[in-house]
Structure formats: structure tokens, C-alpha cells
Amino acid sequence: MTPTPSTPLFSKARRALLLGLFASASVCVAALPRPAQADTLADITKAGVLRVAVPQDFPPFGSIGADMAPQGLDIDVAALMAKKMGVKLQLVPVSSTNRVPYLQTRKVDLIISSLGKNPEREKVLDFSEAYAPFYNGVFGPADMAVKSAADLAGKTVGVTRGAVEDLELSKIAPANATIKRYEDNNATISAFLSGQVQLIATGNVVASALIAKHAPKAPETKFLIKNSPCFIGMNKDEPALQAKVNAILAEAKKDGALNSLSIKWLLRPLPAQL
Amino acid sequence: MAYQFDFLSVLDYTDVLLKGIAVTAQLTLTGGVLGVAVAIFGAWARTQGPAWLRAIVSAYVEVIRNTPFLIQLFFIFFGLPSLGVQLPEMVAASLAMVINLGAYGTEIIRAGLAATPRGQFEAGASLAMSPLQVFRHVVLRPALQKIWPALSSQIVIVMLGSAVCSQIAAQDLTYAANFIQGRNFRAFEVYLVSTVIYLLLALLLRQLLRGVGRQLFARRAR
């Protein structure tokens, strides 16, 4: 109604209309969800889908199988999470560089991608308990009694020159242990398999690969040099999600589900430290 | 920012370098002496040996001269254990060098024997010497004298080829260089220093062999 001398700007009708609009607007704003505490767990349950970032080129944690479907330890752990939460699983293949940004921009809810914990990451992510081992250690045949660096006295250990194992082992090995350094990983493995060295210092994934290839001398873990197990990553300030993830992992450790996944993909049971 | 050279950081590892030089010298000495001995035997076998021995030695020479030294080394060190023959790296490295020099040396000495005039052999036979005695007392030394420069070169080549033995963790000079570089990441300084050391070792070896040649092969008036 256009204002005329007989109908002022804020006539009774217009006032009532404006008041009604304002009242309904307030009710709507009051009813909006508050972004104060994001609850991803509730969102996941409501949407019925758990989105997980998984690796696609890092066996045995994640790779593309012959049927073009993702397979690996991380994929199986993601499936376990989704099943226990009672939701569907959506796998999102990521690389080492983009997995954290995917989580931060909420393209995924969890990162299960052989993620290691370090101080820089702890600033932007929260971590669950460890679910899989990832370590450098000394490996050898089952009948050799070596439990610590001191037991290497008088024995020969093969290692790849310049690798983390080389630098760390050189610090902790006793003086009468013989460390033989080879130029690359393959030569080190060949030296161990041909018996030129009694023990080998390498990563647990390499040792698992040796077992998978049915090597005549199946390497058994003797002691760890450097331990950097895998954790599940999630956004900060998600207490409900973190508690739920840790609860599922604890249950899986207790009933042996996590152990059987470790045997299936890493060919060895979970170490006691995990 | 220009690269900051730091040669002194290599000096921190002098003991590693010295051990490397000692091991290279040891490998060269064993490989050289035994290799030449094998070569003399091989040359004799190929020129005067029975047919079956000639065939075996010819096969050995052809295989070794037509395959890479690294493969021969890896076969001895990584492959033979599958047949139950486990050799420590110094033994495996020395063996590989002896086999390698033996094959190349056989051909070099055989060339020297081929260049010996027939008259020498006939003269020896006319003195009721057996072919082996003719070989040992009459033709071998002049033949060696003829091909001594070529054989010396081959020995120096085998010495430089000993660098490959670092691949089986024999702690020679190249192993020492790689070890130091893996610790201080100064590739330029480390490899320049080891190159200079190899150069000096090679020059020293050549002088040594020249001296040996002078001692063994008295200069005759022609």
C-alpha cells in the first residue's frame, strides 16, 4: 500500500505485517543449528555413510586389486569401522599429499592411510589409538636368539646404506657387531637370503614381503629400531567420534579381529607394543 | 647461493679411507698375482694343451670376456650360496677378480706366444726338450716381455674394476667413499678425493709393474 496522506508509512496494517515477518524470522533464526560444537559422529549416523580416505598405491595398506577394486589393510579397517557404526562405507582414494587437506575440508570423515603421528600433524589433526605396526627393526631366522641391540655382538647384520636403519643401527649396535652396508634394498635382501649376513635391518613391510614371497628364511622380528605405527586421523574437537573410533579399535584388538587383519595383510601377528 | 666446498669434512673419515685403500691394495695384489698365474696356465692350455682342456679353457675365456664383471661378482657372492658354496665378501671379490683377469690375461699372453717365431719352438725341440719344457724355459719369458705393457694395462684395469666389489660390501675405497658420502652428503668433495686416490694408486701400480718388467726381462742386445 503506497503511503498517501490518508495512509501513513507505518499504518496499522503495515505495522502488523512487518511485526509478523520479524517474529517469524526470529523464530527461524532461533531454530537454526548452532555451529558451536561440530559433531561428525552424529552427521555420519544421520547420513548413514562413513567417508574414509584410503591409500591406493601403497600395498599392503592400500592398492588396486586385479578387479580394479581397492584392497588392503586400511580398507579392511575402514570396513570394520563402518560396520560397527552401522553405516555404509564410502572409500575415497587419496595420496600422501592430499589426505590431510581432504579431512580438513570435510571431504572425508576419517583418514585410514598408514598415517604416522608427528608434532606438526598433531597441531591440525586428532589421532586414534594405533591400529597397525609400521617400524624399522632387525629381523632374522626364528632359531637365532637376538632380543636387543646388545645381542648383535659377534653377528653380521645387513642394512641398506644411508637408510634410517643404517644411521640408527650404527648408533646402537655394539662395537663387535659386523654391519654390512649394501647399496640398495635388493642387494641387502639378497645378502640375507643367500646367508651372507645372519640378520637384516629393514622396515616391517619389506619383511612381510619376504614372507609373502615364501623366502626360505622367513624373517622374524627380533627388536625394533624405530617405531612409527599407523593411526586413524580425524578433525580436532571431535570427542564423540574419537571415543567411538577408539572403542571400536579396542574391541577389535580384544576379540582378535585386528590381529587377523594383521596376519592377513602383514603376514605377522600384531606386536605386543601396539 | 654458491655451493660451499668443505674438503675438511672428508678428513674426518680418514681412517675409513685408509682402510679402503688397504683393502683395494689387497684385492689388487691377490687378483693380480693369481690372475696372471691363471692366465699363463690358460695360455699354455689354449696353445699346447690337450683338446678337451683347450675346449674348457676356451669356453671359460669366452664366457668371462663377454659378460659384465658385476654379474660375475653377483653370481659368485649371491648365487653360489644356493649351491651350498658360501664365500665371505673378500674371498668372493678376490675370486671374481682372479677369474676376470685370468680370462683377459689368457688372450693377451696367447697373443705373445703367437708372436714368438716358430724357430724358437723348433730349436727347443731339437734340444730334446718336451713341449712343456720349451714353454717354460724358452718361449714364455720372451712372450711375456712382448706383451708386458698390455698385461700391465689389464692389471690396472682390474684394479680400477675392484671398485665394483663395493657392491657386495667389500670395504674397499669405493665403499669408503659411498659410506662417507652417505654420512656427510658431500658428494663432490668425497668423490673428487677418491678419484684422486685411485689415480695415484693406478700410477703407482704402473710404475711397480714397469719395475717388475725391468727385473724379469733383462734387456738384451738385439
State the pLDDT at residue A7: 61
Question: Side-chain half-sphere of A128: how many Cα atoms within 13 Å?
Answer: 28
From A149's Cα to the closest Cα of chain B, the distance in A is: 21
B46 pLDDT higher than 90: yes
Place of cell 668423490: B191
Give B169's contacts in chain A (Cβ within 8 Å): 158, 180-182, 191
Which residues does chain B have within 8 Å of residue A161's beta carbon, measured at their own beta carbons? 178-179, 182
B47 against A272, higher pLDDT: B47
Looking at residue A30, its pLDDT comes to 62
Angular region, A195: left φ>0, alpha ψ -120 to 50, beta rest: left
Contact B77 A166 (CB under 8 A): no
pLDDT reported for residue B44: 95
- What pLDDT is attached to residue B151? 96
Whole-number pLDDT of residue B220 = 60
Average of pLDDT values for B127-156? 93
| Cβ pair A87, A50 in contact under 8 A | yes
pLDDT along chain A (274 residues), means of 10: 64 81 72 61 90 86 86 93 92 85 90 86 89 90 88 92 84 91 86 91 84 76 86 91 92 91 85 68
Q: How many CA atoms lie within 13 A of B105 on its CB side?
A: 28
Domain ranges of chain B: 8-216
**Closest-CA residue in chain B for A191?**
B78
Min Cα distance B158 → chain A (Å) is 21
DSSP for B100-119, written as a single string: HHHHHHHHHHHHHHHTS-HH
Contacts of A154 (CB under 8 A, 6+ apart): A176, A177
Lowest mean pLDDT among A110-119, B29-38, B135-144: A110-119
Q: What's the confidence (pLDDT) of residue A270?
A: 82
What residues contact A136, with CB distance under 8 A and at least 6 apart? Answer: A164, A165, A168, A201, A202, A203, A204, A224, A225, A226
Cα B175 to Cα A75, B18, B49, B184, B199: the distances in Å are: 43, 12, 41, 14, 17
Contact A140, A199 (CB under 8 A): yes
Q: Is B42 exposed, middle or buried (0-12, 13-18, 19+ CB in 10 A)?
A: buried
Nearest chain A residue (CA) to B176: A181
Mean pLDDT score across all residues of chain B: 92
pLDDT tens figures, A170-183:
889 998 999 999 98
Q: Tally DSSP H helices, then E strands, for chain B.
A: 10, 0
Q: Find the CB nearest A195 among B74, B81, B182.
A: B81
Q: How many CB atoms neighbour CB A260 within 10 A?
A: 14
Nearest to A181 among B74, B86, B169 (CB): B169
The length of chain A in residues reads 274
Structural contact between residues A111 and A232, judged by C-beta atoms closer than 8 angstroms: yes
Contact B95, B87 (CB under 8 A): yes
Other C-beta atoms lying within 10 Å of the C-beta of residue A83: 13
| pLDDT for A274 | 62
- Alpha-carbon span B106 to B95, nearest angstrom: 16
Over residues B185-222, the pLDDT tens digits come to 788 899 999 999 999 999 999 999 999 999 988 766 44
Residue that has been written with the C-alpha cell 683393502 in this structure: B23
Contact criterion met (CB < 8 Å) for A161 and B178: yes
Q: Report d(CA A1, CA A247) in Å as an integer.
A: 64
On the question of pLDDT at B2 being above 70, the answer is no
**Cβ-based neighbour number of residue B29 at 10 Å:** 13
Contact B69, B101 (CB under 8 A): no
CB contact under 8 A, B169 and A180: yes
Residues of B with CB under 8 A from a CB of A: 74, 77-79, 81-82, 86, 88-89, 166-169, 175, 178-179, 182
Which residues sit opposite A226 in a β-bridge? A136
pTM score above 0.95: no
Residues of chain B with C-beta less than 8 angstroms from the C-beta of A183: 166-167, 178
CA-wise closest residue to A179 among A200, A163, A195: A200
Spell out the domains of chain A, with CATH numbers in brackets. 40-134+229-266 (3.40.190.10), 135-227 (3.40.190.10)
pLDDT value of residue A133:
87
Determine how β-strand A125-132 pairs with β-strand A135-140. Answer: unpaired
Q: Which CATH superfamily is domain B8-216 in?
A: MetI-like (1.10.3720.10)
Largest distance between two CA atoms of chain B:
79
With CA atoms as reference, report the closest residue to B34 among B83, B119, B100.
Answer: B100
The span from the CA of A43 to the CA of A45, in Å, is 5
DSSP string, A41-55: HHHHHHHTEEEEEEE
Longest dimension (CA), chain A: 111
What is the rounded distance in angstroms from the CA atom of residue A23 to the CA atom of residue B31? 101
Instruction: Tell me if A195 and B168 make a contact (CB, 8 A cut-off).
Output: no
Distance CA B80, CA A194 (A): 8
Residue in A with minimal Cα distance to B84: A194
- B178, B21 in Cβ contact below 8 A? no
- Record: contact B182-A161, CB cut-off 8 A: yes
Grid look-up 584410503 returns: A54
**Are the beta carbons of A147 and A186 closer than 8 angstroms?**
no
- Chain B residues near residue A187 by CB distance under 8 angstroms: 167-168
Name every chain B residue with its beta carbon within 8 A of the beta carbon of A160: none
- The answer to whether the CB of B167 falls within 8 A of the CB of B92 is no
